[in-house]
């Protein structure tokens, strides 16, 4: 298995306004947890120690961080695997509507998004277990510090908010994702165009004209894709979540409850086959850009690419993300922190004064350019 991740960017719309919409599902799994050999208390995975830690006696137990998750053949993607229904229950928050999945041992679940306790048990199915997990590498305190530094750099945020911004109710949560490996072979043909200029004379006057010189292209292109990542949350804003990248997916561990205890985890909302369709789209776009990068051109008249996929494998994994919110004038602003590298994404309040000033500045620039053209020509 290659240890080199392919650089892919995630794109799309605005998730923070939907994060409290009630469609997010969260899982908290604490079944079959390891016990402290000294005092018998439950052990919790510590991101800073990279060990199982006892919060009562302070004891530590080593955990194997080299038991890497294996790739699964694509033809098994539609099969039925072990689910979490025997270990977990689903609750819906009466306050914000968020759906939360917790361990059957958890007798007092709390909504992870608004902190409410008035949540009601539902009868829905929980879903499948992942086969891979990326452990947290930074703790909640470090994630909160990363958020504060990020908030202070937000240009359009009000000055008072930047000075007082702090993380509230920050919680570690594993987001579901599928990664795909695939060999690809592509054949292509098309016609590209390159601009050139000529000087012509008409009616005694000289003119410069722009024309297009077309040329045909054809060839083949082969590429192996490693761990093309697709978030399995349907209501996640890909542009926002893309700012959390990268995740070191090549080093995902084989799924183990020890990594999950003390954290939450979200249920997948997109099936693996749907995620594979999105992954194919990313691969096609990458190949298209790579083919075009071989040529010097100004316009694309036509480009046909026939692409085949082979030796496809996947992993259904959990990605470490801290979820939290900050408050400003009684409104919540959600943010996310990559639990491995500390990258932050989210939303902050916007200062109307700063926005207005920027708009006015833009108008002044446009008027200034117009005046220059009017008085001095082209």
Find the mean pLDDT for residues 51-69.
Answer: 89
Half-sphere exposure of 321 (CA within 13 A, CB side): 29
Find the mean pLDDT for residues 198-216.
Answer: 90
- pLDDT band (50, 70, 90) for residue 95: confident
| Listed ranges 128-137, 202-211, 215-224; the one with the highest mean pLDDT | 215-224
- pLDDT band (50, 70, 90) for residue 244: very high
Residue 204 included in any domain: no
Residue 190 included in any domain: no
Beta strand ranges found along the chain (DSSP E): 25-28, 44-46, 51-53, 60-62, 72-73, 88-93, 99-103, 119-122, 132-133, 168-202, 205-231, 253-254, 264-265, 299-328, 331-338, 344-346
Beta bridge partners of 315: 179
**pLDDT of res. 23:** 41
**Domain total in the chain:** 2
Would the pLDDT of 376 be above 90?
A: no
Match 């539609």 to its residue by tokens.
78
Mean model confidence pLDDT for the chain: 81
Find the mean pLDDT for residues 26-31.
Answer: 42
Residue 198 included in any domain: no
Residue 215 included in any domain: no
Residues 338 and 359 in one domain: no
Residue 147 included in any domain: yes
Would the pLDDT of 230 be above 50?
A: yes
Residues 120 and 245 in one domain: yes
Find the mean pLDDT for residues 256-281.
Answer: 85
Residues 230 and 374 in one domain: no
- pLDDT band (50, 70, 90) for residue 370: confident
Residue 114 included in any domain: yes
Would the pLDDT of 357 be above 70?
A: yes
The residue range of the domain holding 319 is 25-180+226-269+314-347
pTM above 0.75, yes or no: yes
The 10s digit of each residue's pLDDT in 167-181 is 888 888 888 899 999
Select the more confidently predicted residue: 238 or 325.
325
Residue 176 included in any domain: yes
Residues 377 and 262 in one domain: no
**pLDDT of res. 269:** 80
Residues 35 and 155 in one domain: yes
Would the pLDDT of 327 be above 60?
A: yes
Nearest-angstrom CA–CA distance, 260 and 257:
5
- pLDDT band (50, 70, 90) for residue 98: low
The answer to whether residues 99 and 91 touch, using CB atoms and an 8 Å cutoff, is yes
**pLDDT of res. 309:** 96
DSSP string, 69-129: PPPEEGGGTTS---BSTTTEEEEEETTT--EEEEETT-SS---TTT----EEEE-----BP
């Amino acid at each position: 298995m290659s240890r080199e991740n392919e650089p892919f960017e995630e794109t799309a719309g605005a998730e923070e306004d939907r994060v409290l919409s009630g469609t997010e599902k969260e899982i908290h799994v604490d079944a079959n947890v390891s016990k402290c050999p000294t005092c018998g208390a439950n052990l919790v995975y510590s991101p800073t120690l990279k060990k199982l830690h006892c919060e009562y006696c302070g004891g530590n137990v080593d955990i194997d961080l080299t038991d890497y998750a294996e790739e699964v053949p694509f033809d098994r993607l539609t099969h039925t695997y072990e689910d979490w229904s025997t270990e977990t229950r689903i609750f819906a928050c009466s306050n914000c509507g968020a759906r939360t999945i917790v361990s059957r041992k958890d007798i007092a679940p709390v909504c992870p998004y608004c902190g409410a306790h008035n949540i009601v048990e539902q009868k829905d199915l929980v879903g499948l277990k992942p086969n891979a997990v990326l452990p947290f590498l930074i703790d909640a305190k470090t994630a909160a510090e990363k958020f504060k530094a990020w908030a202070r750099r937000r240009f359009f945020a009000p000055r008072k908010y930047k000075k007082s911004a702090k993380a509230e109710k920050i919680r570690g949560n594993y987001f579901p994702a599928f990664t795909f490996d695939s060999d690809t072979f592509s054949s292509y043909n098309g016609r590209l165009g390159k601009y050139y200029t000529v000087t012509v004379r008409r009616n005694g006057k000289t003119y410069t004209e722009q024309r297009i010189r077309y040329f045909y292209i054809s060839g083949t292109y082969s590429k192996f894709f490693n761990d093309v990542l697709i978030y399995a949350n349907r209501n996640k804003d890909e542009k926002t979540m893309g700012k959390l990248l990268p995740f070191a997916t090549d080093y995902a561990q084989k799924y183990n409850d020890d990594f999950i205890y003390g954290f939450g985890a979200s249920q997948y909302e997109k099936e693996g086959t749907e995620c594979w369709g999105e992954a194919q789209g990313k691969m096609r776009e990458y190949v298209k850009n790579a083919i075009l990068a071989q040529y010097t051109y100004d316009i694309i008249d036509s480009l046909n690419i026939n692409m085949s996929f082979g030796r496809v494998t996947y992993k259904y994994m959990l990605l470490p993300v801290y979820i939290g919110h900050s408050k400003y004038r009684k409104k919540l602003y959600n943010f996310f922190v990559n639990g491995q590298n500390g990258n932050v994404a989210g939303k902050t309040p916007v200062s109307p004064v700063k926005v207005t000033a920027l708009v006015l500045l833009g108008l002044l620039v446009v008027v200034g350019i117009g005046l220059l053209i009017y008085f001095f020509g082209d």
